[in-house]
Amino acid sequence: MSTSILVSEVGPRDGLQSIERIMGTPEKKAWIHALFKAGLREIEVGSFVPSHVLPQMADTAELVGFARTLPGLAVAALVPNLKGAQAAVKAGAHKISIPFSCSETHSLKNVRRTHEQMIQEVQAIGAFLKTLPEAERPHLEGSLSTAFGCTMEGVVPEDKVMDLAQILIEAGCDEVGLSDTTGYANPAQVRRMIRKVHARVGADRLTGIHLHNTRGLGLANALAAIDEGLTTIDASQGGLGGCPFAPGASGNIVTEDLVFMLEAMGFSTGIDYDALMHARQLLSDALPGEPLYGMVPLAGLPKNFKAS
């Protein structure tokens, strides 16, 4: 088990995509900078989707450019297709993720593509990236969305998830990520799925997981993933986020709670908690009245608490 865990902050993308009120670009930049100053070393700053679909993401290219000026920060972005990937490369993203819903019903709602069409998109992105000099290629992750269940289809067969993981790697992804889009996962399921994906495509091809806390199991699932060898855990400050096309699946893991748990257990995250709370205040100020979640921000750190 690794003693160092990368907390990948997805608030500026997944956290904001479900919020109707548009957060201003200067406020987003201030928030991203504060997260960076707190010690976050990977931040998903937005998604390259049409602005009429998600107006909140209209400034993603500008945010990528800004985040690129922060030394040592891995700048990530979501892309739904080849056009989005080309825009992400032009903007300078270090990492791009494409959401591939294991539930075809969810795929049709989320990106309006069948599985076959999405495979073709991934293959096109993979071929496009191969035309770039190696130093200019962003890391490509195929995010296996609804891997633990779908609000529309219900149970998603695990063998189907394994097959899709292999297909994504063969199509050109550098790695795959498991995503509990709907907040259905439990720790036993997380352990089992990780072992199966590692057996199918290799442990080096699955290092991260994206979890929601919809049913209160987010941190338990994160710990199960770490026990199985994963070293990157997605989280969103204030627990913001949720998929617009997965009804009721609100609430990413709260960054503040995840960092506390990891540091209290002796893992190193490199994150300064006081600085993280300053970033939370900037977020709160930029979105007055928007509910922010988290148990540790509510209760405070234990007396004499020291990070690892």
CB 209 within 8 A of CB 234: yes
Pairing of strands 42-47, 232-235: unpaired
Token pair for residue 271? Answer: 């994150």
Helix 115-130, helix 82-91: angle, nearest 10: 30
Q: Which of 102, 150, 173, 243 is catalytic?
A: 243
| Cα–Cα dist 169/205, whole Å | 8
CB 299 within 8 A of CB 42: no
| Cα–Cα dist 41/20, whole Å | 27
| Cα–Cα dist 101/179, whole Å | 9
| 109 contact partners, CB below 8 Å, separation of at least 6 | 152, 245
DSSP state of 98: E
CB 115 within 8 A of CB 156: no
Nearest to 241 by CA among 285, 191, 179, 165: 179
150 noted as active-site residue: no
CB 206 within 8 A of CB 198: yes
CB 125 within 8 A of CB 135: no
Q: Where are the alpha helices (DSSP H) in the chain?
A: 25-38, 60-67, 82-91, 104-110, 115-130, 158-171, 187-201, 218-227, 255-264, 273-286, 295-299
Active site residues: 243
